[in-house]
Amino acid sequence: MKEQFGSLVALRSPAHITLVPPLWMEEAFEEKLKNALTSFSGQQNKFEITLKNFATFKPKVIYAAVLPSQPLQLIHSRLQEFLKQSNLFPIKPDDRPFHPHISIAARDLHKKAFYEAWEIFRNKRYEASWLVNSISILRHNQKNWDVIFTSQFPGV
C-alpha cells in the first residue's frame, strides 16, 4: 500500500483491533488505566480470532476482515462497560456499531488510489487466525502509535 498507493497511516501503528476508540487523558491517569486493564484482563479467557479476505469503508479504508466472533463482541462490550463503571477515564459512548477490522490502508489513501487498490484486494484470498491472549494500550507519540502496556489473559 505504501509503495504502490502512497498510503502510510496504517503503518503508523502495530496491527490491532480497536476495542476502545482513541481518547485523550491526563498522563497521570496512565498508571490507573494500566491497573484497570490488568484487573479486567485477569477475568478474561483466551479466544481465537480469524481474518478472512478484505473489505472496505469506502472511499478511504481497506482492511483485513475479522470474522464475527461472540468472544470478541463480549470482550468489547465488557471492556467498554468496565471502563465506564470505573468513572476514571473519559470513555464516550460510540454511536457506531463495533466493526472489528485490521486496517491496511486508511484515511491517507486518495480516492482514485482507493478504487485502484480495491480492484486488487477485492479478489485476493486471505485467511489467518491466532489466539488472543492479551490487551494492549497504545499511545500516540505525535507520529506513530506505540504499545506502552500489555496485559495478559490467564484464561484457558
- CATH number, domain of 126, equals 3.90.1140.10
CB 83 within 8 A of CB 35: no
| Burial (Cβ within 10 Å: 0-12, 13-18, ≥19) of residue 156 | exposed
Q: What is the pLDDT of residue 63?
A: 97
What single letter denotes the amino acid at residue 25? Answer: M
Separation in Å, CA 91 to CA 37, 94, 104, 134: 14, 9, 26, 20
pTM equals 0.89
Query: pLDDT tens string for the chain (156 positions)?
Result: 999 999 998 899 999 999 998 888 888 888 999 999 999 999 999 999 999 999 999 999 999 999 999 999 999 999 999 988 888 777 777 778 999 999 999 989 999 999 999 999 999 999 999 999 999 999 999 999 999 999 999 965
| Grid coordinates given for 100 | 472489528
20: closest CA among 144, 148, 143, 136?
136
Count of positions (residues) in the chain = 156
Longest CA–CA span in the chain (Å) reads: 47
Q: Can you tell me the distance from the alpha carbon of 1 to that of 146, in angstroms, rounded to the nearest whole number? A: 21
| Cell numbers linked to 56 | 472496505
Rg of the chain over all Cα atoms, to the nearest angstrom: 17
Structurally, the chain folds into a number of domains equal to: 1
pLDDT at 156: 58
Residue 50's domain spans which residues?
2-152
- For residue 85, what pLDDT is reported? 87
